[in-house]
Amino acid sequence: MQPVNLFDLATQQARWLSVRQAAVAGNVANVNTPGYRAVDVEPFESVLNNTRVAMQATDASHNQHGATPASFGLNEADDPKLLPSKNSVVMEDELVKAGEIRRAFELNTAIVKSFHRMMMMTTRS
């Protein structure tokens, strides 16, 4: 077992949050696209469990939402509620996800700042 490096972990989570934010933005952009299926990224917990992550496109014409194949997997959202246009994007759900992402970014940044301050205090002593 290798030691946990907080800065590496925070960087990985920030990258994951960025990909998730791009997926949510893509869902919002396609809210009126007939037949579009909402996507989300795999949970960060599975990334921490050292599972292999890979992109999963549901259709060849879908954009990759800024993620790279070496990045985090995009999956079709769980239990899609199809609207009459055969679109599964629910704006309220996407807004909730956007709020979660914002709070997670803020927490990530606060933790990194605190850890950095602690390291600077120990090196000055």
The phi, psi pair for 73, rounded to 5°, reads -75, 140
pLDDT tens for the 125 residues of the chain, in order: 455 578 888 888 999 999 999 999 999 999 989 989 899 998 888 877 754 444 455 566 655 554 444 456 666 665 556 667 778 888 999 999 999 999 999 999 999 999 889 888 988 86
Question: DSSP readout, 49-79?
Answer: TT-------SSTTS--TT--TTS--EEEPSS
